[in-house]
Amino acid sequence: MSFAQVSRHIGYIPQSHIPTFPFSVFDVVLMGRAPYLNLTDTPKKEDEEIALNALKTLGIEDLKDKEYTNLSGGQRQLVFLARVLCQQPDILILDEPTSHLDFGNQIKLLEIIDNLAKSGLSIIMSSHFPDHAFLSSTKVAIMKNKSFMDFGKPDDVVTEENLKKAYSIDVRLINIDDNRKVCVPLKTNLKLGDIK
């Protein structure tokens, strides 16, 4: 398959993206239509409508005319997600999509990801936050040293025992009032001489 053909089926969002040019948000999202255009083509009205719908899906159509380089990290992540949605992929791969976001934007983005999955989009996401498995996953894998430790439903895989093996520290899983679990790492009481 050519790169364009792959891009029509698989969308990818890297862990971070450093904007270079002050394109408008709309133009950045419209670039997601590139797999459907030839080198000399310009986007058609249909492509522009798809880009606008991607912005509306994520609730950021009000950013349409702003410069991408002047957005916050959370806004940029949503714009980049809109750009990938504009590709209309079957599978979305997210590399730590919440790594540079504050708590509020993490939860908002995870809810968006969950809604996209419920709409039929297949999503593969990596995260260093075990809590996220309980918020937006149907299947979870834990990896350590480039190998899978466990795979299955979040409640079966994200356990205190598996987290201790993965992170080499004690972790407590705590249920909070809305039937959600959170992972709390416990202090190890290391001394400076113990760190290698």
E strands, 55-139, are 91-95, 122-126
DSSP assignment of 132-170, as one string?
Answer: HHHHH-SSEEEEETTEEEEEE-HHHHS-HHHHHHHHSS-
With vertex at residue 53, the alpha carbon angle to CA 14 and CA 33, rounded to the nearest 5 degrees, is 55
Q: Measuring CA to CA, how many Å separate 63 from each of 18, 41, 59, 69?
A: 18, 26, 9, 12
Question: Phi/psi at 123 (nearest 5 deg)?
Answer: -125, 130
Helix, strand, coil abundance in the chain, percent, nearest 5: 45, 20, 35
Which residues, including other chains, have CB under 8 Å from residue 195's CB and lie 6 or more apart?
Answer: none
Active site residue 96: yes
Choosing from 96, 111, 160, 161, the catalytic residue is 96
Mind telling me the catalytic residues?
Answer: 96
